[in-house]
Amino acid sequence: MQKAAQLGFGAIYVSEKYGGTGLTRLDSSIIFEALSRGCVSTTAYMSIHNMCAWMIEQFGSEEQKQHWIPSLASMEKFASYCLTEPGSGSDAASLATTARCDGDFYILNGSKAFISGGGDTDLYVIMVRTGSPGPKGISCILVEKDTPGLSFGKKEKKVGWNSQPTRAVILEDCKVPVSNRLGEEGQGFNIAMQGLNGGRINIASCSLGAAQASLELAANHLKVRKQFNKPLAEFQHNQFKLAQMATNLVASRLLVRKAASSLQQNLPDAVSLCSMAKLFATDQCFDIVNQALQMHGGYGYLKDYAVQQYLRDIRVHQILEGTNEIMQLIVSRDILQN
């Protein structure tokens, strides 16, 4: 990870002023796609880490930026994003983790679920309730790993994403300075959602890399594997399937890149495009990888063959950073409001 950071992958779209690489969202999409061809799971965590670094630059105080971003950019320290709770996933605005102000400190109580890097990372960007019910009562607080009252659940056993740990983050009278708040009180939900807009492009880009690699693996397998005395590549059914897979992959890539450019320019359609890109690309890319596995026949189900790992790793992309059902709600709401 730190070797990756030396190449500039620790804070890709954070300004160089704080040690970031200063590239665009489009650059980031290309990078995450390329890295995911090697390992989706590792790249996906890097994308979350990058999202956290960007959130600190975008909403943090000058002191917070100078303190955290250089060590995140070098990956000397790692960050985790903490929004989901055992009782609030898609309904993020109903989160129940609380932060009660006590003088110059907040006292945090509650738990977060499915936290990538949980227990092994150094900084937790946590959404908490400081005010009334609903999105306007949510704030964002930075909690360091060794803070008393912060603990972690067991390491989850997952279908994929196995190069990174996932644990619950537990807060029990966790005392954090008010100066650790990111942005203003009540701004947390907005901070969380703005982070996720980019996160959706990043995760969609990770799916692109898996689909591209799987398409190439399938094509190579079809050329080599013979049935009925001829290579599988000579069967028109397989040729047509490859054509459909490649077409859907290119369509997905173009939509993801379009969304990345729109977000970079802060255009009015950015939120909707990010949701469309995440919805379309993660669905299509999973289907491409699944079809690539099918083309491998029984071999595709063996762990000796890479295609099954791509399948296991990208299945969760249709769930996290906002489920694809929620993406449809966001897109349809944008259409109906306009």
- In the chain, where does DSSP find H-type helix? 2-6, 25-36, 40-59, 62-73, 188-224, 236-264, 270-295, 307-314, 324-337
The answer to whether residue 16 is catalytic is no
CA distance 320 to 94: 17
Q: Which of 33, 57, 85, 321 is catalytic?
A: 321
- What tokens were used for 38? 């090697």
Burial degree of 123 (CB within 10 A; 0-12, 13-18, 19+): buried
How many other C-beta atoms are found inside a 10 Å radius of the C-beta of residue 163?
13
- List, in order, residues 6 or more apart from 167 with CB less than 8 Å away: 115, 118, 119, 152, 153, 154, 155, 156
**What positions carry a catalytic annotation?**
321
